[in-house]
Amino acid sequence: MSKKTVLFDWEVADTFGWGVYGLNLMLRGQGPGRRVVPTVWPPQKYSISSPLTLEHLLRLRNSWEPTIRAQSSDVFLTGLGNSNTAIKLPKMRNVGVIFFEANPLPSQEVQKLAEFEFVVAGSTWNFECLSKFGVRARLVVQGVDLERFRPAVKRLFKDRFVVFSGGKLEHRKGQDIVVKAFSAFAQRHPEALLICSWASPWGGRFVGPMNETGLLKTPFIDRSDFCVATRAWLEGNGISPSQSIVLPSVPNFAMPEVFREVDIAIFPNRCEGGTNLVAMEALASGLVCAISCNTGHLDLIGDRNCIPLRTQLPVRGGANGFLDWGESSVEEVLETLESAFFRRHGVTPERARASVSQLSWEKTIDSLLGELGIDEN
Separation between Cα atoms, residue 52 and residue 85, nearest integer Å: 35
Classify burial at 158, counting beta carbons within 10 Å of its beta carbon; exposed 0-12, middle 13-18, buried 19 or more.
Answer: exposed
The whole-number pLDDT of residue 66 equals 63
- Give residue 255's pLDDT: 97
* pLDDT above 60 (res 57): yes
Residues found in the chain:
377
Q: What's the pTM?
A: 0.94
pLDDT tens-digit series, residues 265-277: 999 999 999 999 9
pLDDT on residue 277: 98
**Strand spans (E) along 129-279:** 137-139, 161-166, 192-197, 244-246, 264-267
Higher local confidence (pLDDT), 149 or 316: 149
What is the Cα–Cα distance from 131 to 117, expressed in whole angstroms? Answer: 14
Which residue type occupies 169?
L
From residue 364, alpha-carbon distances to 24, 284, 371 in Å are 10, 15, 11
Q: What type of residue is 156? A: L
What is the DSSP code (8-state) at residue 91? T
Which residue ranges form the domains of the chain, and what is each CATH number? 4-143+360-371 (3.40.50.2000), 161-354 (3.40.50.2000)
pLDDT at 179: 98
